[in-house]
């Protein structure tokens, strides 16, 4: 690919999705955008590049973003954040939201749904502890194709074998031939919607817990800082932010701070969390995930 063409895609992706493309990923552009050019009936990738320099069709830009984003995910990915969610965050919320009996969770880069479904299954596993509570999960992503898969909630044998305990598979899924369908009682806890993290977060409302894992890693520091700043305005002052294992707020923003000894877990800068030691313990009644 010519350097000028590479720069056109690089700018387009950065501006429309935040994705930063380094020159060594040039080969990825060719392999992933070839099929997009074909779908849109351009004679070649170069012809598509020329079309993009005029006023680009929004749907074409979306197809390019979808082709270039990485949707890698799995149930209970990395496990530890989900242990923290169950043993640290939910017990804290049980205590701190006892009057409202409401917890709002946002899964900000939900991909094909395994992450929000994992959260919903954990809250379901708590049984009567949260009886009468309204626990909702909003799951968003920039890719409409991946959101359709997530809403559908149908997974292959390979996908359910990656991280999902067999007890949960049996309890929350129904087998359909070679596939497994998420049951409706879990599905109805989640609302899937298109959302671009570069946009204003205000229309989303406020949240108690935000999962934003394994997406900021693709953005530059300035974009990450802007997103943290926006998140700090819509998260409850005593809320929690989960980031991926290779992501951090350190050196990027002071709107959030890491929770000591709880890797991947962050709280707003003025949060009192952690200042009372008993808060870090799971009270009796929260249910562990059976492996
Ligand atoms: C690697 S997946 C991570 C999925 C899940 N959070 C996890 O950790 O397993 C990254 C997801 O971020 C989405 N994404 C990329 N850029 C985005 C943006 N600007 N706004 C919202 N989602 C975005 C991609 O479509 C993709 O589904």
Chain segment 209-248, per-residue pLDDT in tens = 999 999 999 999 999 999 999 999 999 999 999 999 999 9
Mean pLDDT over the full length of the chain: 93
Same domain, 24 and 124: no
Q: What confidence category does residue 276 fall into, taking pLDDT thresholds of 50, 70 and 90?
A: low
Residue-number span of the structural domain to which 44 is assigned: 3-68
| Same structural domain, 64 and 139 | no
Please state, in angstroms and as integers, the Cα–Cα distance from residue 193 to each residue in 102, 111, 137, 171, 244, following that order: 21, 11, 11, 26, 21
Q: Say yes or no: CB of residue 77 within 6 Å of ligand 1.
A: yes
Q: Tell me the percentage of the chain whose pLDDT exceeds 70.
A: 94
Q: Judge if the beta carbon of residue 112 lies within 6 A of ligand 1.
A: no
User: Which of 69, 224, 230 is the best mutation target for the ligand 1 pocket, counting ligand atoms within 8 Å of the beta carbon and taking the most?
Assistant: 69
Answer for the pair 4, 204: CB distance below 8 angstroms, yes or no.
no
Of 39, 68, 97, which residue is a domain's last?
68
Same domain, 262 and 177: yes
> What is the enclosing helix (H) or strand (E) of 237?
strand 235-243
pLDDT in tens, 116-167: 999 999 999 999 999 999 999 999 999 999 999 999 999 999 999 999 999 9
141 lines ligand 1 (CB under 6 A): yes
Tokens 């590049």 found at: 49
Ligand 1 center to residue 196 CA distance, Å? Answer: 9
Distance from residue 52's CA to the centre of ligand 1 (Å) = 24
State whether 112 and 246 are in the same domain: yes
Stated pTM of the model: 0.94
Q: What are phi and psi of 151, to 5 degrees?
A: -60, -40
For ligand 1, say whether the CB of 115 is within 6 Å of any of its atoms: yes
Beta carbon of 214 within 6 Å of any ligand 1 atom: yes
Domain of residue 261, CATH code:
3.40.50.150
At residue 63, what are phi and psi to the nearest 5 degrees?
-65, -35
The rounded Å distance from CA 205 to ligand 1 centre is 20
Count CA atoms within 13 Å of residue 31 on its CB side.
Answer: 4
- Ligand 1 in reach of 111 Cβ (< 6 A): yes
- Does some domain include residue 198? yes
How many domains are there within the chain?
2
CA of 278 to the centre of ligand 1 (A): 34
* Chosen domain end from 19, 42, 68: 68
* Cβ of 223 below 6 Å from ligand 1: no
């Amino acid at each position: 690919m010519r350097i000028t063409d590479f720069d056109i895609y690089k700018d387009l992706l950065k501006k429309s999705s935040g994705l930063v493309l380094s020159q060594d990923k040039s080969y990825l552009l060719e392999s992933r955008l070839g099929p997009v050019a074909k779908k849109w009936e351009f004679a070649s990738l170069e012809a598509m590049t020329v079309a993009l320099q005029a006023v680009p069709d929004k749907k074409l830009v979306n197809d390019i973003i979808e082709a270039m984003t990485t949707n890698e995910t799995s149930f209970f990915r990395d496990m530890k954040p989900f242990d923290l969610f169950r043993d640290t965050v939910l017990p804290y919320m049980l205590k701190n939201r006892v009057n409202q009996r409401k917890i709002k969770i946002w899964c900000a880069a939900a991909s094909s749904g395994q992450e929000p479904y994992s959260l919903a299954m954990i809250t379901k596993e708590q049984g009567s502890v949260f009886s009468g509570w309204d626990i909702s999960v909003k799951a968003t992503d920039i890719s409409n194709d991946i959101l359709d898969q997530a809403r559908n909630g149908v997974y292959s044998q390979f996908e359910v074998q990656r991280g999902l305990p067999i007890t949960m598979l049996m309890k929350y899924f129904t087998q359909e031939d070679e596939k497994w369908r998420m049951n409706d009682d879990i599905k109805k806890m989640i609302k899937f919607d298109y959302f671009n993290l570069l946009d204003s977060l205000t229309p989303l409302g406020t949240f108690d817990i935000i999962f934003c894992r394994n997406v900021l890693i693709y953005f530059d520091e300035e974009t990450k800082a802007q997103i943290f700043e926006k998140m700090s305005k819509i998260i409850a002052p005593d809320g929690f932010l989960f980031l991926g294992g290779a992501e951090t707020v350190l050196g990027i923003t002071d709107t959030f701070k890491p929770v000591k000894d709880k890797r991947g877990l962050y709280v707003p800068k003025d949060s009192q969390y952690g200042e009372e030691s008993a808060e870090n313990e799971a009270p009796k009644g929260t249910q562990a995930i059976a492996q």
